[in-house]
Structure 1
Amino acid sequence: SLSMAAGWPCSPQMKKVKVQSSRFKVHGSKFKVYGSKFKVQRSGFTVQSSAFKVHGPELRVQSSRFKVQGFKRRAKMADAWLFRATHQVQGRKRIIHQYNTGLEFLRYGRVIFSGTGGSVTIDTEDEEIAFVCLNGTGTIGLEGRSYDLKKYDALYVPRESRVEVSSQGPFDLAECAAPASRKYPVQFVRFDEVLKNPNLVRKAGFEPYARTLHTLIGENNVQAARLLAGVTFSKDGNWTSWPPHDHSKEKEEIYLYIDMPYPNFSIHLNYWDYKNMEMVVPVWEGDAVAIKRGYHYNVASPGTVTGFLWMMAAIREEKDRVFTQVTVQPEFDGRFKLF
Structure 2
Amino acid sequence: MSLHVKSPGNAPGIYPIVRRGEGLKYLSFTIVQLGRELTSHTVESGADELSLDFYSGPVRVEVEGASGRWSSEIPPRASIREPGPMVYIPAGSQVKLTRLNGDARITVAAAQGKPGGSPALIHAADAALNRVGKDNWRRTVYTHIANNIDAARLIAGETVNQPGGWSSCPPHKHDRFAPPSEVPMEEIYYFQVEPRQGFGFMRVYTAPGDSEGFDHAYAVEDGDTVLIPRGYHPVVACPGYALNYTWVLAGESRPSASSLRGSQQTASRILFGARSTRTAHWMATFTALLATPPIVNVSVWIPLGVSCGICTFT
Question: Structure 1 length normalisation: TM-score?
Answer: 0.68
Select the structure that is richer in helix.
2
1:236 counterpart SS class: coil
Query: Match of 1:232?
Result: 159
Residue 286 of structure 1, aligned match among 219, 223, 228: 223
User: Relative to 1, partners in 2 of residues 1:273 and 1:88: Cα closer, same or farther, differing over 3 Å?
Assistant: farther
In 2, the alpha carbon distance for the partners of 1:283 and 1:211 equals: 18
Residue 93 of structure 1, aligned match among 4, 12, 15: 15
Q: Which has the larger radius of gyration?
A: 1
Query: Match of 2:271?
Result: none
Trace 1:1-339 onto structure 2 (pairs within 5 A): 75=2, 81-101=3-23, 103-115=24-36, 118-143=39-64, 144-150=69-75, 151=77, 152-169=84-101, 170-194=103-127, 200-219=128-147, 221-249=148-176, 250-272=184-206, 278-316=215-253, 318=254, 320=255, 322=256, 325-329=257-261, 331=263, 333-334=266-267, 335-336=294-295, 339=313
Q: Deviations for 1:292-314, whole angstroms, at most 9, x for unmatched residues?
A: 11111111121122211111113
* Conserved 8 A contact 1:91-1:120: no
RMSD (CA atoms): 2.3
Shift, 1:230, TM fit: 0.9
In 1, the alpha carbon distance for the partners of 2:133 and 2:262 equals: 18
User: Relative to 1, partners in 2 of residues 1:297 and 1:330: Cα closer, same or farther, differing over 3 Å?
Assistant: closer
User: Relative to 1, partners in 2 of residues 1:263 and 1:171: Cα closer, same or farther, differing over 3 Å?
Assistant: closer
1:208 counterpart SS class: helix
In 2, the alpha carbon distance for the partners of 1:258 and 1:209 equals: 18
In 2, the alpha carbon distance for the partners of 1:190 and 1:116 equals: 29
Q: Percent same amino acid among aligned pairs?
A: 24
Aligned length: 249
User: Relative to 1, partners in 2 of residues 1:86 and 1:116: Cα closer, same or farther, differing over 3 Å?
Assistant: closer
* Conserved 8 A contact 2:12-2:37: no
1:231 counterpart SS class: strand
1:256 counterpart SS class: strand
User: Relative to 1, partners in 2 of residues 1:89 and 1:227: Cα closer, same or farther, differing over 3 Å?
Assistant: farther
In 1, the alpha carbon distance for the partners of 2:200 and 2:236 equals: 6
2:170 counterpart SS class: strand
Q: Deviations for 1:233-263, whole angstroms, at most 9, x for unmatched residues?
A: 1122111110111112331100111133333
In 2, the alpha carbon distance for the partners of 1:280 and 1:259 equals: 18
User: Relative to 1, partners in 2 of residues 1:158 and 1:228: Cα closer, same or farther, differing over 3 Å?
Assistant: same
In 2, the alpha carbon distance for the partners of 1:330 and 1:205 equals: 13
Shift, 1:90, TM fit: 2.0
* Conserved 8 A contact 1:155-1:187: yes
Structure 1 residue ranges without an equivalent (≥5): 1-73, 76-80, 195-199
* Conserved 8 A contact 2:13-2:38: no
In 1, the alpha carbon distance for the partners of 2:63 and 2:34 equals: 19
- Counterpart amino acid of 2:186? E
In 2, the alpha carbon distance for the partners of 1:284 and 1:330 equals: 26
In 2, the alpha carbon distance for the partners of 1:270 and 1:178 equals: 22
Q: Deviations for 1:199-241, whole angstroms, at most 9, x for unmatched residues?
A: x11100011211001111122x222001111111112211111
Shift, 1:130, TM fit: 0.9
In 2, the alpha carbon distance for the partners of 1:271 and 1:106 equals: 19
User: Relative to 1, partners in 2 of residues 1:117 and 1:90: Cα closer, same or farther, differing over 3 Å?
Assistant: closer
In 1, the alpha carbon distance for the partners of 2:228 and 2:247 equals: 11
1:242 counterpart SS class: coil
* Conserved 8 A contact 2:203-2:235: yes
Structure 2 residue ranges without an equivalent (≥5): 78-83, 177-183, 268-293, 299-311
Higher relative contact order (CA 8 A, sep 6+): 2
1:135 counterpart SS class: coil
Shift, 1:100, TM fit: 3.5
Question: Structure 2 length normalisation: TM-score?
Answer: 0.73
* Conserved 8 A contact 2:193-2:199: no
User: Relative to 1, partners in 2 of residues 1:241 and 1:330: Cα closer, same or farther, differing over 3 Å?
Assistant: closer
In 2, the alpha carbon distance for the partners of 1:139 and 1:227 equals: 22
User: Relative to 1, partners in 2 of residues 1:112 and 1:130: Cα closer, same or farther, differing over 3 Å?
Assistant: same
